[in-house]
Every structure is written in C-alpha cells, then in structure tokens.
Amino acid sequence: MTSKKSNQAIKPKFIITGLIVFFYIIFFVHLQPEKPEVTYTAAIAFLMAFWWVTEALPIGLTSLLPIILFPMLGILDGKTISNSYINYVIFLFIGGFIMALAIEKWNLHKRIALKILSIMGGSPFMILFGFMFSSAFLSMWMSNTATAMMMLPIAFSVILSLEEIHGESKVKNYSIGLLLAIAYACSVGGIATLVGTPPNLSFLRIYEIIFPNAPEISFGQWITFALPITIFMFWFILLFLYLIFKPKHQLKKLPKSFFKEKHNELGKVTLEQKRVFILFVVLALLWVFRKSIDLGFITTPGWSLLFKHPKFLNDGTVAMFIATLLFVTPSSKKNESLVTWNIIKKIPWRIVFLFGGGFALAKGFIDSGLSTYIGTILANAGTFSTSSIVVALTGIMSLLTEFTSNTATTEMMLPIISGLAVQLKLNPLLLMLPITLAASMAFMFPIATPPNAIIFGSGKIKMIDMIKVGFFINLVAIIVISIATLTLGKVIFHIDINEFPDWASQTIAVIKP
C-alpha cells in the first residue's frame, strides 16, 4: 500500500525508463512479423505493467493508456476499447462500495465488530478469534483496507489494556500475533465474495471478455466455492498464530465488560444503523440466491427465475438497486437520505479505472492474438499433469503478488493464463480460478496487500515476523487453493478435467492468429 502522496506523485526516471523499453519493443522486436499488432500489444502491456508496479504515474492514469495507444497503433478502434471501461462489473463494484461507505458513515462496522468481541469473551484465544472473525466477515462485504484501518484502533485499545494488567513485556509477543491476525483475516475473508477483493471482480469480467460464450459465474456460485477455502484458511491461521504467539505467561482474562463497555459507548442502535443493516442483509441475500446453485446433489432455485427474462439480471443490477435504495431511504435528519450524492467523491475511482484498464488490456490481448502467442510458447507445460500445472501457476502467482499490486498482477496474468489453457486444451477455469485466489493470498511482505501495510505501519511488527509466519501460510494457501479448485471447483463450475469445453473451443476461432 502506498501513501496518498505517492499515489499522486509522478516519478520521471520510471516514466522515461518505461518509454525507452516501450519504443524499443515497438521498433526492434518482431514477435510475429506478419502481425505487428501482437508486438504492439506486448509493448503496451509492458508499459502499463511497469508503470503500475513502479507507480510512475497515478495508477488510474496509467490505466487509461489503452484508450490512447490501441487506436493509435491500429490494434482496436477507440469506440470498442472505450466500451471496456464501463460494464456491469464496474457497477457491481460501485454499488458494493456505496454500501460499504454507508456502513462506515453510520459507524455500523464498529458496532458489529465490538458486538462480536463482546460475545466472544476476553481470553487470549477468544480475543484472537473475535478479531479475526470480525475482520474476515467485514472484508467479505467492504474494502479490506477500510476493515484493517477500522480494526487497528480497537486492537490497540485491547493491547493497551492487557499491557496495563500484565506489563508490556508479557504482552509484546501476543500483540504481534493479534495484529497479524487482523491483516491475514482481511485477506482470507475478502476472497469469499465477488465484491470482497478487486482481483475477484477482475477475474469475472476478463473471463467474460475472453470467453463470451462461457456460462455465467454468479455471486452464489462464487461464495459456494470460495467460502470453504476462507473457512479452512481462517482456522489454520487462527490456530497457527495462536501456537506461535501464544503468551508465555498466563494472561489474565479480560472481563466481558471490557468490550461491552466500548460497545455501550456507541449508544443505542440508531435508526440509520437499523436501516443500513437491513439493506445490507437484503443485498447479501439477493446476491447469493440470484441464480440457481447446483451442488450436484441439491439445487437451490434462484429468485431471478421469477422474472420473464432471468438472464437479463446480473449482480451489478442488484448492487445498483440496493445503492439506489440507500439514496432514497430517509434518515432521521430532515430531508436527508441514508447516503447523499457527496458519497460519490469517496469511491476510489483510481480502482475503477484500474479495472477498466485491465479489461481493455484483456480485450487487446485477445483481439491482437498476443494471448494465443504467449499460450503457444508456454504450451510445453503440457508435459506436466493438470494438477502440477495448477499448483505451479498458483505458486507463481502467490509469489508475484508479494511484490506487486494484486489487482494489476491479476489483470496482467489472466489473459496470459487463458491463452495457455486454450493451447493445452484445458478448461480455462482450472487455471484462472486458482490464479485469482492466489492474488489475495500474500502474507509475507508489508507491500503485498493493503492490510499487511496498515498493520506493519503500526510500528509494532518487524518485517522478519511477517516473513517467517507468512511463508508457511503462503505454502498452505497454495495447496488449499489447488485442491479446492480440482475438487470443489469441478462440482460447482461443472468442470471436466478430461474435456475441453465447447465454449472455450468456440473462442479459438476468435483469438487464433
């Protein structure tokens, strides 16, 4: 995570370096001489990736490069590439973020967290569990960054109270584990829903761009697949951190009144909190049960079947419907609704543009033939088994995202991985799903995810602490994601390892050079 200042600043040396390599590729590299657009797309992809990683320009600005460069270099016309920036995934993100901002505006997130902690109790293990549960649950629905920032001051108040009772030296080790638990829970909670973390939404749209004939992946399907991974990783991290950072000396249990008092300080539940909570629950239920969920042994019918054209409805429709209700539902203040138009200013538009830039780049990868070109080069991986390829690519992605933006890396990797899947005649979901999940499973370095950076910025954690613990959690995450994809993913997304799906076969004609 970077500071606001760095997000706005420009870095001339990286701008110049990126442009030098960009023009070198344009004039002196010929990937496919008969199709110069393949090389041009590769040059643009490098320039965007380099400027994204180094933040030579604000991320949102770099994301707009396809609108300028694709038409200029004859890859795609301006109208086609501009359409990549506005789609239902963008509105799914905007609607979900408006809900998150409404929760934050009326302080509902803090009330939820303190309520959970007051129920869990004050023993060291239950405090750890309470903080992780609160962080993971909130991160399923709102920004991981906002969740981590909200949980941090609550954690500090608990740590301070423990230090007052037992002394700083006896609590120091445990406090490290508590802070790491918050960061890691934000990451594992975020993967459970499509709106929980940006890479999930990037996957959803890029998958549809590259494979337009593929079956739709609904919110309900995703949560049915990813939630078990979240639950397993949650319990593993909880037990692992408690084992490593368990207090050497028996700590006195905090009285139950500690969290209750802090919860009571918030006062009675307000009218606004009640109404936002009701809309939040309705949103979650509409997302999860919009489309029928087929688990093989049981099928849950989706509510969209009540409409004449159920396929016309998508998760973006639901998000904007609830967002609209937030704008029109009155609060206790005269002539003011739960959210006002001023909240639009708080939406992270640089992330919206980042999404659009990734979608545009994916479109360029496919239409130029670059995706197929790279997939052909990587096709020698076909000598390995399907499970080996899944594990290897998941591990590579997990390593890459330790050093780069997880969203930008996801948007760069998915078109390449899809091309590889087509060349290997594998169901693309077998490779794209684990790659997407691995993008959020980065636990080793502060720069890997915003929650990691926020917790590290507290000054109470050394980098070596995060590296030693995060390395083993990364390994477990790679294994769990791979196994879940090859087992649970096969059932939920109807994947046959031995069959190349028709919808992917139909795409070959579109992207084959």
Banded model confidence at residue 347, pLDDT cuts 50, 70, 90: confident
Axis crossing angle, helix 370-377 with helix 349-368, rounded to the nearest 10:
70
Task: State both tokens at 42.
Answer: 């590769």
pTM over 0.75: no
What is the residue-averaged pLDDT of the chain?
Answer: 83
Tell me how far apart the alpha carbons of residues 48 and 494 are, in angstroms, rounded to a whole number: 35
Backbone angles phi, psi at 443, to 5 degrees: -120, 0
Q: Which residues pair with 294 in a beta bridge?
A: 299
Question: What's the pLDDT tens digit per position in 143-197?
Answer: 777 778 777 777 877 777 777 677 777 778 888 999 999 999 999 999 998 888 8
Q: Per-domain residue ranges for the chain?
A: 1-85
Does 491 have pLDDT greater than 80?
Answer: yes
**159, 171 in Cβ contact below 8 A?**
yes
Question: What's the pLDDT tens digit per position in 80-134?
Answer: 899 888 877 788 778 877 887 888 788 887 787 777 767 776 788 888 998 899 8
Does 371 have pLDDT greater than 90?
Answer: no
Query: How far is residue 372 from each of residues 55, 58, 80, 390, 500, measured CA to CA in Å?
Result: 29, 30, 20, 19, 16
Tell me how far apart the alpha carbons of residues 353 and 395 are, in angstroms, rounded to a whole number: 28
Tell me how far apart the alpha carbons of residues 226 and 187 are, in angstroms, rounded to a whole number: 12
DSSP-derived letter for residue 499 is -
